[in-house]
Structure 1
Amino acid sequence: MGEGGRVYIADLAIGPVALRDDGSIEEYELFPRSVDEAVTEALRLEEEGFTLAHEKLGKKLVESGVGSLVVESEDTARHFSKLGLSVKVEPGNNVALSARERLVSLGVELGFFGSEDDALSWLYEVEVEYTRRKLRGAAQKRDMLAAQAIRAIDDIDKTVNLFVARLREWYSIHFPELNDLVREHEDYVKIVSAVGHRDNITVERLVDLGFSEEKARRIAEAAKQSIGADLSEIDIQAVQTLARITSELYQLRRRLTEYIEQVMNEVAPNITALVGPLLGARLISLAGGLDKLARMPASTIQVLGAEKALFRALRTGGKPPKHGIIFQYPDIHRSPKWQRGKIARALAAKLAIAAKVDAFTGRFIGDKLREELRRRIAEIKKIYAKPPKRKREEKPPQPRRARPPRRGRPPRRRRGGRR
């Protein structure tokens, strides 16, 4: 035993080890060999300063008569003190630093590793898993940021639709032909905000705005022959102000979309790999958070966003909806009606797995889930290529009702009856 009976506790990736002053091993208690369990113990040590392995090691030291310990953190010292040991805190002491430098050889000596190559491979896996979980923990509270951002995009879409409708009606007083020539709202807004008066519309300016030369020529000719009213400069400026604000909303929507992509790749990479960042953020928003989404069964995820239709079906006994917001998934809304429910069920099952992995482990299995989903969709399209035959519903015979008597006439008597 070391001078004065002191023992140093070195917290290593393989578990806590008690060392003498000369670096020789006094006692040890190793973590489980499983990478997941070892990382879990390491994270617990970082958060609480103590693990079950530390408690077992402390009891061994008490039984062997060790009375004085040197540890590196106050939390560890507090827990060892409860076992009746005298503890001193020396962060970064030489004995612990030396033990970490020779971690591989110590692990082989204690039988935790079979060889040096085995040690390096295991330590690499632990470091990757540890980093992934730390990143997951840091990003865990950011799921609602993505939810708020997608709600902001929905609000922007509503506002833009209102503004564009008003802008088209307003500018049509001056240049009504443009309404039919330019169907895309953003292109319409771009022309009004950049050009303004129809007399300023030229082929060159429209080409600079991104229009093809043929379309630019058609718009320019229509502007010269327009039957719209002439507007003053003040009137045009008012219309352009609305157009510029609408154009800024389009730009804001694009920036928020990029932001959601970044956040979703950090918070929910598996969900993003399956359905993309925007639809994934909508699912998190509807569920009320990633943790809540992870605790939902696949059947609930399948109808998220269609709660009104579901409750109406339960109340009236009608057919329940086959899908909710996941209808936006391309392979669902582009498929025939008789395939959509089956594809939605398959997608919801994979989303349930992806949400649980994103919420509780942080591992990335999105590629695997996406490939499995593609195979299942291909199988559905092959098996159910033709619509199912409709079953004839045989109506039960309805009882004949007696015809009501005509007004003003007595009921007719049966032949042979009493007069």
Structure 2
Amino acid sequence: MALSLLYESAVGYALFDVVEGPDISLGTEEVIKALSEASRFAKLVKLKAFSPFTSAEHALENINCISEGTVSEYLKSLLEANLPIGKKGKKSKFSLGVMDSKLGASLHEELGLSVTSAENVQELIRGIRIHYEKLIGQLQTGDLARAQLGLAHSYSRSKIKFNVHKADNMIIQAIALLDQLDKDVNTFAMRAKEWYSWHFPELVKIVPDNYKYARLVNIIRNKQSLDESSLPQIAEVVEDEDMAKEVLEASRSSMGTDVSPIDLINIEMFAMKVAELADFRRELQNYLTGKMHNVAPNLGALLGDQVGARLIAHAGSLTNLAKYPASTVQILGAEKALFRALKTKGKTPKYGLLFHSSYIGKAKQKNKGRISRYLANKCSIASRVDCFADTTSDVFGLKLKEQVEERLKFYESGARPRKNIDVMHLAQKEVAAMEDAEDAAAEESEKKKDKKKKKKRKAEDAGPEKESDEPVKKKKKKKKSKDKK
């Protein structure tokens, strides 16, 4: 059976015929020398056809088709012109060798070709890649490298520009920064408490909250100068007048040491930075909530914004999470424990990142595994609705949340929950009603705009006519007065 090879490069497509020679799959010294030396390799393969790309845009279009495993019209015309393609039902007397098996499957479906990606084919294509410039007589030294560099830049730009996970990336970065900020704020707050406790040690017991403590440091400063005039500011921070009075009394009988003004300035600056960092963390939380509401509203409504964002970040994207089965979603984040249990033949983990949801904490110890499995199932449904639905709404997430709560009641009291199909039908009706209401509102707004435009046109058309009528009337009056005279 004759064998032809298809090689895709940055400058165009090339077809090679394989000449009978040593068995490439053996890997002998003779084969290795034949692949490494250009003169010997030229005896193994012969160029049959070369079809260069006409422009950089043409090259980008074809490389996108190859990366997606589809056959472009340009490649299809090249193969039809140079290969004896028969009917799809008949057996062909030749086969086409390709490097990518996905592209080979597309070629077999569309053109009915006998395609192979065997080991000897891959070795020959590697040899073509090494000696490509010498095998193609139309290329000069450096042409291929320049074409590869330009195509790589344009391909990378197009992938970044048309990245379907762009919004997911913002969620992934936000939740990673949020987790890091939680650790940093706690670390810095502990350092501020330890530092300021040398001057006012009683304040830690009265105000244990990190954010309030950092703000109080900037208000109190030197405890000796604290008086009743500062009570309103302290009460505003701690949100309790009794606690503010307790802080004032503790400052008068404090056992702390005196601090020099320079040291106190540094402590105040550090406490101010801690408070600013806590404020930024709160703003980032609001940003993440807004992003989750736009990208994955159902998952956020079911699990909460932080847990849902952690699932998306751990999966890599919302699309990857939607493709996972419920059994994978259940133990997502507990991979180490799973493989350790499989290795030691112990008990596998019941939950991973889902442990942080409130439902696991509400369930009893014997029901934690059952509710985690049920919750993973609902998370899988919510992520798929968010990923593949045309409209964005949290209706399905709220209905799934009701189902999980009903399942918790079923485990505790035995109250029978609703069926999933009934709940989904209700959610679909609500979504349809919302879409109808939005369409009606859009139609009304368009009608109002049309009415305003018509009124403006009538006013513009009627305006100059009225102005032109007035001077005519005046002229007529003047003529009548002259006749009377």
**TM-score relative to the length of structure 1:** 0.56
Q: Which residue of 1 aligns with 2:256?
A: 228
Q: 1:176 aligns with which of 166, 188, 201?
A: 201
Q: CA deviation digits over 1:103-157, x for unaligned, max 9?
A: xxxxxxxxxxxxxxxxxxxxxxxxxxxxxxxxxx998520120111011001101
Cα displacement string for residues 226-277 of structure 1 (whole angstroms, at most 9, x for unaligned residues): 1101001111111111111111111111111111111111111110111121
Match of 1:269 in 2: 297
Gaps of 5+ in 1: 1-136, 385-419
The counterpart of 1:374, out of the listed 398, 405, 416, is 405
Matched positions, count: 248
| TM superposition shift of 1:224 | 0.8
2:370 is equivalent to residue 342 of structure 1: yes
Name the % identity: 40
Distance 2:170 2:273 in 1: 25
Residue 254 to residue 166, structure 1, CA distance change in 2 (3 Å): same
Separation in 2 of the partners of 1:234 and 1:211? 30
**Any runs of at least 4 consecutive aligned residues in structure 1 with deviations exceeding 4 A, and if so which?**
137-140
For residues 313-353 of structure 1, what are the alpha-carbon distances to aligned partners after superposition, in whole Å with 9 as ceiling and x for unaligned? Answer: 11212212111111111121233221211111111100001
In 2: Cα distance, 1:140 partner to 1:362 partner: 16
Conserved in 2, the CA contact under 8 Å of 1:140 and 1:267? Answer: no
- Correspondent of 1:361 among 376, 389, 403: 389
Contact 1:143 1:289 in 2 (8 A): yes
Match of 2:178 among 153, 177, 184: 153
Aligned residue for 2:222?
197
User: Is the 1:270–1:357 contact (alpha carbons within 8 Å) kept by the matching residues of 2?
Assistant: yes
Where does residue 351 of structure 2 map in the other structure? 323
8 Å contact kept, 1:203–1:216: yes
Structure with a larger share of its residues in helix: 2
CA contact 1:139–1:266 (8 Å) conserved in 2: no
Q: Contact 1:342 / 1:380 at 8 angstroms: preserved in 2?
A: no
Distance verdict in 2 for CA 1:372–1:211, change over 3 Å: closer
The corresponding residue for 2:168 is 143
Matched, 1:290 2:318: yes
SS at match of 2:205: helix
CA distance in 1, matches of 2:312, 2:285: 15
Per the alignment, do residues 194 and 315 of structure 1 end up closer, same or farther by CA in structure 2, a change over 3 Å counting?
A: farther
2:190 to 149, 165, 182: 165
Secondary structure of the structure 2 residue equivalent to 1:209:
helix
Q: Give 3-state SS (helix, strand or coil) of 1:319's partner.
A: coil
Deviation of 1:381 after TM superposition, in Å, equals: 2.5
Counterpart mapping for 1:118-133 below 5 A: none
Cα distance in 2, alignment partners of residues 207 and 180 from structure 1: 16
RMSD (Å) for aligned C-alpha atoms: 2.0
- In structure 2, what is the Cα distance between the partners aligned to 1:173 and 1:234? 15
Aligned mate of 2:288, from 237, 243, 260: 260
| Counterpart contact for 2:219–2:234, Cα < 8 Å | no
Q: Relative contact order: is structure 1 or structure 2 higher (C-alpha 8 Å, sep ≥ 6)?
A: 1
Quick one: which of 237, 240, 256 aligns to 1:212?
240
Distance change in 2, residues 1:261/1:139 (3 Å): farther
Check conservation: 2:363, 2:408, Cα contact below 8 A. Answer: no
Aligned CA distance change for structure 1 residues 225 and 253 (closer, same or farther; 3 Å): same
Q: Quickly say closer, same or farther: Cα 1:154–1:274, change in 2 above 3 A.
A: same
